[in-house]
Amino acid sequence: MAHSAITHDPIEPTEVLASLGSDEDGAVLLFLGTVRNHAEGRDVTGILYEAYQEMAEKELAAIAEEAAVRAGTPRVAVIHRLGELAVGEPSVAIGVASPHRAEAYDASRFVIEEIKKRLPVWKKERFVDGSADWTDGTRPQAAAPPARESAS
């Protein structure tokens, strides 16, 4: 089963890699999203990540399971961090291992794109002048038809 977590603890890339190992795999891919020192021309000193944690855990688990189908293996591990992060720190780690590289790249890319589309997480960028702003995001779409009955 794929692994996923929403955490306030620093992400340890080495642990993510170590969690994937299998002798069946010929390709291991680790993606780290890290806090950049600039955004749209402004100097950034850090980012505050906030989540609807209970829902984010559920969505991230679903994304990881969908990625595992793409990877053809259950060896998918996804961690998203919350709280105050400094420049250079990883906010997200995505590990995928697969017998073949095409599937590993596809599954890894799928996870980060889905996170950006539907994980209920927001970030407030802190700028060098002391100001802070919520970053523009993407409106998530409800799957249609909804799981429960509708009034329409």
Partner 1 sequence: MKIQTVFFATYRELAGVGSLEVELDEGATVGTLIDRLRSEACPSLPEDPAVAVNLTYALASELLHDGDEVALIPPVAGG
Residue 140 binds a copy of itself, judged by CB under 8 A:
no
Nearest by Cα to 123 from 137, 139, 141, 140: 137
Q: How far apart are CA 105 and CA 37, in angstroms?
A: 27
Residue 31 binds a copy of itself, judged by CB under 8 A:
yes
Q: How far apart are CA 131 and CA 7, in angstroms?
A: 26
Residues of span 61-90 touching a copy of itself by CB under 8 A: 87-88, 90
Cα 62 from chain centre? 12
DSSP 3-state of 43: strand
Residue 32 binds a copy of itself, judged by CB under 8 A:
yes
Residues that bind partner 1 in the complex, under the rule CB under 8 A: 33, 49-52, 54-56, 58, 80, 91-92, 112, 115-124, 134-144, 146-152
Judged by the rule CB under 8 A, the positions of this chain that interact with a copy of itself are 13-14, 17, 21, 23-38, 87-88, 90, 99, 101, 104-105, 108-109, 112
